[in-house]
Structure 1
Amino acid sequence: MDCVFCRIVRGELPARKVYEDEAFVAFHDIRPRAPVHVLVVPKAHVAKFSDYPDDETGEKALGALFRTVNRVARALGLEGYKVQVHVGEKGGQEVFHVHVHVMGGF
């Protein structure tokens, strides 16, 4: 895939990573909207949040994604933070690979 986040996951593009495990990577947004603005990205390509199945598989994937959001926020020392997900073009999504914005340090 030529998806920019897939390329970051594969190490083909640089990113300022703050977290990585077998299923997720988190890195600083290149256009931050907050003093701390990190993206949490699943390594497996799923275009948009609404593409996850409405079953146990989707529930497990989304649970793991938000568990990772908490891990990243803790690792960054954020006591409070905002979580944002854009879904689809009409929802403001620009990169069609699921990602969660974690913003803090306000």
Structure 2
Amino acid sequence: MPPLNSAGPLKFKHLADVRHYPDIYQPNSVLPADMRLGHDGRTIKGVGRWGATRGERMMFVYGQNDPWSAERFKPSKHDSMVFEAPGSNHGALISKLQPADRAHAEAAVKRWAGQ
């Protein structure tokens, strides 16, 4: 296995004159030194590839304003789906979906549960 690569410090050149603590924005900056590791993006790429090709009965519910959904997981064609809850953030719920999407999501969950 090749060594892990570290992304290094983040660059905010356009904010250079207003940053008071420029070294705080580094990968793993909040972890103790002995727990800091480099980032290996292969793992999450593999998870995404598996979900998009082999995942079954997977439901992704994203909020319209969810900052974590900049790069969403893509559902496979194996009884999987993705929804977006309008006006919601990272805590999006099936109950916050539009009525037609909510009915579709609830029907899928019931089907998966054998009801």
Fold match (TM-score > 0.5): no
Using structure 2 for the length normalisation, give the TM-score: 0.26
Question: Looking at CA atoms only, which structure, 1 or 2, has the larger radius of gyration?
Answer: 2
Greater share of helix residues, 1 or 2?
Answer: 2
Using structure 1 for the length normalisation, give the TM-score: 0.27
Q: Whose RCO is larger (CA < 8 A, sep 6+)?
A: 1
Greater share of strand residues, 1 or 2?
Answer: 1
